[in-house]
Structure 1
Amino acid sequence: MSSGSAGNFEVRSATVEEFAVALSWARDEGWNPGVADLEAFFAADPSGFLMGFDDGKPVSSISVVRYGDEQGFLGFYIVHPEARGKGFGTATWNASMAYLADRTVGLDGVVAQQDNYTKSGFQLVGRNIRFTGVPRLAGLPGPAVKTEAARTGHADQIETLDRVCSGVPRSGFLKAWIFAAPDAVRSTFISIENGDVSGYATIRKCVDGYKIGPLFAPTQQAAEALFQACCAKVQSGADITLDVPETNHKAMTMAQSAGLTPVFETARMYRGSAPEIPWSKVYGVTSFELG
């Protein structure tokens, strides 16, 4: 894939090693990526991570991961500060839209870009609020729902649950996200009710502290149990981040009761028909990059 502007500028699919540069840009932007995100992200769509190169030097990035035959999700839209104002961002955006063609496309847009996304045909569905802080677990009741570490035998039930709560099929990503990383880097817990998997949550190590995502649960009690299981996995005193859909009032209450503070927001937007997502079960989105 290539898309040209003046000079020797091209946009093409990047390798994991090349796209690590974009991860460092995301860190510099204050997005606090996970330390082992890329391998799992690339498992979702190995060709969906594009970079713009000016005379061979990386200057822009965007991820456009395809889910199934009809959906896609956009993230990592960054132009390096030294390369801004030269048209590289527009060319990179155009290449990404060509890659996704006529699919429905979702994104979690930062405030500064939301007007531009609207002009490109994206419509607002809702907002996500990033909560961060050292959790005050004493502020939550004891777990009322059983939780345990996820095992490969739970994979099918987790995948079924994830497809309902995320609105897209993403089997390859889930296998890498849940089972492929060392336990100290990323751990997943499930809630068990009536002998079945009712919810799940993943906590991962980031540049600063940890993020929980996704956190999918049918009730606040199950969500609180999963949240506590994740927090107990890491060292006491570590910062925890949870990205909460604003429309899920129980999730907002849970984050605040745990002592986390709102620090950032994004807008969930779609171009085309948004997938059916039961937001009342989404206590934490998976990531702002992949939805």
Structure 2
Amino acid sequence: MKLSNENLELNELNESDTKGLIELSASVRWDYDEEEIRTLFSSAKNIYGHKNNEGKIVSSAAIIPYDNNLAFIGMVIVHSDYRGLGLGKVVTQKCVDNASGRSILLIATAEGKPLYEKIGFTVVDSVHKYLCSQYIPVKLAPHSGLTIEAVKEENLEEVIDLDGAAFGDKRSLFLRNRIKQANQCLVVKKDSRIIGFGLSILGPVNLTLGPVVAPDTGIAELIIDYLASNHKGNLRVDVPSGNEKLMAYLEQTGFIKASNPPVMGIHTNKMPYRNNTLFAIASQAYG
């Protein structure tokens, strides 16, 4: 039953709202936990949401600005009891209005796509969501002269630069926060120079792999194998379009494509320039 007669107030949320955001996420079967919400608050410019008469959060959306011209909108959720009231449009529009004229991207659910189109978003690309309940290692081609090791503090600027060229904008604050949250953060070196990296994030349901940045598919496969091999449980990886070879590898190792959601943009009609080294995104909230 929709509760349209309530006085629903739009608020800017803060860290005291963490529990309410986790509960809202769980209501739509998304697996945000306290660490994920902490990274969101420390990386986002603003997080907005409606609260009902009892103070319960019934909608949310976050705007995450990156270093130069790009921003991402994530965690757009409306509680099922409050759908059809226009709350999703209001919180998303609030994020758009507070993005300071930046190009804005988001990854849409099937339910959300018509809402975003009404605001002015258009489809500019897509991603491929892959899930795995049991990882099956396959023999990979040997790579001589490479070392794989955990990231160190002195590596961070190099990793941020690699990510920026791969993603299409530097995202220094977010990446530092994400590395703190990570279950693992690996760098691949050749002749002491970092040529790729990958993160894994352990959530309540999945170990999510990404971002993964590499000079070619073979090294991306190597990073994913290192991140996935010792995990006994569910895995998730979201792959940008154009990476068919990597997707074929994932399917050999037990991953199954679950969906192919669109990437949508406003104040832009195309993806930012990328150098074809991004093989897995950080998440659908951050791109």
| TM-score bracket for this pair, using the shorter chain length | 0.7 to 0.9
Distance 2:110 2:244 in 1: 21
1:243 aligns with 2:243: no
The residue identity in structure 2 corresponding to 1:138 is V
1:53 aligns with 2:55: no
Structure 1 residues 44 and 18, CA gap change in structure 2 (3 angstroms): same
The residue identity in structure 2 corresponding to 1:222 is I
CA contact (8 A) 1:143 1:225 kept: no
The residue identity in structure 2 corresponding to 1:200 is F
Report the CA distance between 1:259 and its aligned residue.
Answer: 1.9
Distance 2:52 2:258 in 1: 34
Q: How does 1:62-101 map to 2 (within 5 A)?
A: 62-101=61-100
Report the CA distance between 1:53 and its aligned residue.
Answer: 1.6
Say how many residue pairs are matched. 280
1:200 to 167, 183, 197: 197
CA deviation map 1:93-128 (0-9, x unaligned): 332222224221100111222233233222222211
Report the CA distance between 1:58 and its aligned residue.
Answer: 1.5
CA contact (8 A) 1:104 1:270 kept: yes
Report the CA distance between 1:69 and its aligned residue.
Answer: 4.9
2:226 to 225, 229, 247: 229
Question: 3-state SS of the aligned residue for 1:51?
Answer: strand
Report the CA distance between 1:129 and its aligned residue.
Answer: 1.2
Report the CA distance between 1:48 and its aligned residue.
Answer: 1.7
Distance 1:32 1:132 in 2: 14
Long gaps (5+) in structure 2: none
* Structure 1 counterpart of 2:150: 149
CA contact (8 A) 2:27 2:79 kept: no
* Structure 2 counterpart of 1:285: 281
1:218 to 215, 225, 235: 215
CA deviation map 1:113-158 (0-9, x unaligned): 2233233222222211111112211354456643111111110100
Report the CA distance between 1:30 and its aligned residue.
Answer: 3.5
Report the CA distance between 1:279 and its aligned residue.
Answer: 6.6
Q: How does 1:120-199 map to 2 (within 5 A)?
A: 120-133=119-132, 134-138=134-138, 140-141=140-141, 145-178=146-179, 180-181=180-181, 186-199=183-196
Structure 1 residues 42 and 151, CA gap change in structure 2 (3 angstroms): same
TM-score (norm 1): 0.87
CA deviation map 1:36-65 (0-9, x unaligned): 2122222223x4211112333311101111
Question: 3-state SS of the aligned residue for 2:272?
Answer: coil
Identity %: 20
CA deviation map 1:1-44 (0-9, x unaligned): xxxx9864322221123144333333443333466212222222
TM-score (norm 2): 0.88
Structure 1 residues 193 and 132, CA gap change in structure 2 (3 angstroms): same
Distance 1:147 1:215 in 2: 13
Structure 1 residues 112 and 187, CA gap change in structure 2 (3 angstroms): same
Distance 1:240 1:172 in 2: 26
Distance 2:275 2:127 in 1: 11
Residue range with higher mean Cα deviation, 85-94 or 248-257: 85-94
CA deviation map 1:239-273 (0-9, x unaligned): 21111113222221221122211112311111123
Q: What is the root-mean-square deviation in Å for CA atoms of aligned residues?
A: 2.3
Question: 3-state SS of the aligned residue for 2:201?
Answer: strand
Distance 2:280 2:33 in 1: 15
Structure 1 residues 129 and 223, CA gap change in structure 2 (3 angstroms): same
